[in-house]
Amino acid sequence: MSPVDALIRRHRLRAIELLPWIIAVGGYFAFADYLPLGSQILIMILFALSLDLVLGYAGIVTLGHSAFFGVGAYAAGIYAARVSGEPLSGLLVGAVAAGAVGWGSGMVILRTQGLALLMLTLAVTALLAEAANKASFVTGGADGLQGVDISPIFGVFRFDLFGRTAYVYCLVVLFLAWLFARHLVHSSFGQSLIGIRENLVRMHAIGSPVRRRLLAVYTIAAALAGVAGALLAQTTQFVGLTVLGFQRSGEIVIMLVFGGVGRLYGAFVGATLYMIAQDQLAKMDPEFWYFWIGLLLVLLVMFARGGILGLLDRVVRR
Amino acid sequence: MMPALETVGLHKRFGALVVANDINFSLEPGARHALIGPNGAGKTTFINLISGRLPPSAGHVLLGGRDVTLLPQAARVRRGLGRTFQINTLFRGLSVLENVALAVAEREGRGGDMFRSASSRRGALEQAYALLQRLRFAEDALTRVQELPYGKQRLVEIAIALGLRPSVLLLDEPAAGVPSAESATIVEMIEQLPPDIAVLIIEHDMELVFRLARRITVLVQGRVLVEGAPAEIAADARVREVYLGERQHG
Ligand SMILES: Nc1ncnc2c1ncn2[C@@H]1O[C@H](COP(=O)(O)OP(=O)(O)O)[C@@H](O)[C@H]1O
Ligand SMILES: [Mg+2]
């Protein structure tokens, strides 16, 4: 096999890539009492996946990704409360609103790098959170957005009390988003993002329009995060100020780092384990939970840079 | 004949330090031109000014007769400018083949393709591989750059630039840090460059310079001290004093 074929083959779908979907479908039947948690996990996977495009592939270090999640959640929530309860158009509204904010803020902040960029991502989130708080006449402010009422999907599938419809809905959306993200990272565009992460100076020197590429991926990832936020608004029929908070931004980075950055599946592993562990441990003692998360994070960063999937890689290669 | 590359009154200062001082320089198509001078003379800065990595304080850069002084790096690359770096500037986590393919994809204007399937990358990869074969570097195609010995990494520096099919190639100390016993492959690669490319090479090893260059410019403290054929430079008293002499002492 020629080296060219060998590289092309890496993009083919491998059997193991179906594992998350088998688990997700199996989980629907095996954990019927936990479907609301399951939906939350699927939403966080989508959110982490969108972050991976920005952080893992393009190497943009951000602590403000919740801005887009929050904008998507509020846009979809307000759309449902004021305009229409139709869910699919609501997702689109969330995606477009978040993508627009991603594009607009990216135009300004992607001119900077490193620490300055990190601070600016935080600043954008802070500004939006404060705006959502002040604009209580549309957002409900600190009380949260009320009156989010979602119609059946395609006019047929009602959102039921057990969260069955919600789970399947989130799963289908996540699956489509994954197909899209997978295609994207294996495209020439995706390769050029890796190039930017690996060596920015050289990308400039081979004539790559670096800023345009970064803005494109930032906008796409913002739209995907917006879809995740919209899913949360629709499935919980509520939007609170925490969707925009620093804490959510930080948590999603932790989840992705746990799973493994820049490998598409780190989002699946990290978000799932984090959400399940949080659900179990937080019942016992919430503060203790953060202690363990902190300790785990220190250990992973010191001894396993590639996260859990990176560790697995190394074990398998031996 | 119109020069492939020209600089007119090029100036660059960093604060009080003048690193490029009224540099008027031109490179004919097919030139093999060496730029020499002591450390800190401003050679790398000169390349950064030409490639657009740094903006000049004054003066102009012309590529194929067109003023590109205000154009960003990408636009200069599109007009045929390729460069390498004195300090390895590579995609370390990627294979040699992918390193070169990134350059090929950008040259073809396909670097931003999102929606064609992954196998649309095949075109860029095939071209990159053909280039590596021509450079007799194909057996390392799938090796990650960070796993290559340093000398071979220096070859990747050049291979990436050649993936752009430049008409003007700027080589910043291509053999820097490579023991002279191992630099033979690098010299060979440079000797076998297509004859129509205009090559500017910065090099410290005088033996290499005299072997590769048909013309030499000596830069001292940001100023062109003298320019001429190798024999003229070797015989020039001022050059001996500031450059060759210095090397003998230190
Ligand atoms: N970005 C910069 N800012 C300030 N000073 C610089 C910068 N780049 C180079 N210099 C200074 O300019 C001088 C010339 O550097 P350089 O062009 O790298 O020389 P050479 O390649 O001939 O060894 C040196 O004194 C160096 O310290
Ligand atoms: Mg130098």
Query: What pLDDT score does A256 carry?
Result: 95
Three-state SS string over B40-58 comes to: CCCHHHHHHHHHCCCCCCE
The pLDDT of residue B112 is above 50: yes
Greater confidence, A232 or A32? A232
Q: What is the pTM of this model?
A: 0.93
The per-residue pLDDT for range B150-197, each reduced to its tens digit, is 999 999 999 999 999 999 999 999 998 888 777 888 999 999 999 999
User: How large is the average pLDDT for residues A23-48?
Assistant: 95
User: How large is the average pLDDT for residues A20-25?
Assistant: 96
Angstrom distance (rounded) from CA B150 to CA B59? 37
The per-residue pLDDT for range B129-148, each reduced to its tens digit, is 999 999 988 999 999 999 99
The pLDDT of residue B38 is above 50: yes
CA-nearest residue, atom 26 of ligand 1: B40
Query: What pLDDT score does A301 carry?
Result: 76
User: How large is the average pLDDT for residues B209-232?
Assistant: 93
Residue B53 domain boundaries: 5-86+165-180+196-242
Any atom of ligand 1 within 6 Å of the Cβ of B76: no
With cut-offs at 50, 70 and 90, classify the pLDDT of residue B207.
confident
The pLDDT of residue A283 is above 90: no
Q: How far is B196 from chain A (nearest CA, A)?
A: 20
Query: What pLDDT score does B250 carry?
Result: 39
Query: What pLDDT score does A228 carry?
Result: 98
Say which CATH number the domain at B31 has.
Answer: 3.40.50.300
Query: What pLDDT score does B249 carry?
Result: 43
Angstrom distance (rounded) from CA A219 to CA A105? 9
| Residue B138 covered by a domain | no
Query: What pLDDT score does A81 carry?
Result: 94
What is the ipTM metric for this complex?
Answer: 0.93
Any atom of ligand 1 within 6 Å of the Cβ of B39: yes
Instruction: Name the residue of chain B whose CA is nearest to A215's CA.
Output: B112
| Residue B119 covered by a domain | no
Query: What pLDDT score does B129 carry?
Result: 97
CA-nearest residue, atom 25 of ligand 1: B40
Indicate the residue of B73, B85, B112 with minimum beta-carbon distance to A188.
B112
A8 close contact with B: CB closer than 8 A: yes
Query: What pLDDT score does B244 carry?
Result: 55
| Residue B62 covered by a domain | yes
Distance A131 CA to ligand 1 centre (A): 47
The per-residue pLDDT for range A113-124, each reduced to its tens digit, is 889 999 999 999
Indicate yes or no: CB of A207 within 8 angstroms of CB of B119: no
| Residue B248 covered by a domain | no
* Chain B residues with CB-CB distance to A263 below 8 A: none
Rg, Å, chain B Cα set? 18
| Residue B155 covered by a domain | no
Instruction: DSSP for B136-199, please give it.
Output: T-GGGTTSBGGGS-HHHHHHHHHHHHHTT--SEEEEE-TTTTS-TTTTHHHHHHHHTS-TTSEE
| Residue B16 covered by a domain | yes
Query: What pLDDT score does A305 carry?
Result: 76
Tell me how many domains chain B contains: 1
The pLDDT of residue B245 is above 60: no
pLDDT above 70 coverage of chain A, percent: 99
What does the mean pLDDT of chain A come to? 92
The per-residue pLDDT for range B48-83, each reduced to its tens digit, is 999 999 999 999 999 999 999 999 999 999 999 999
Exposure of A75 in the CB half-sphere (CA atoms within 13 A): 28
Distance B13 CA to ligand 1 centre (A): 10
The pLDDT of residue A26 is above 70: yes
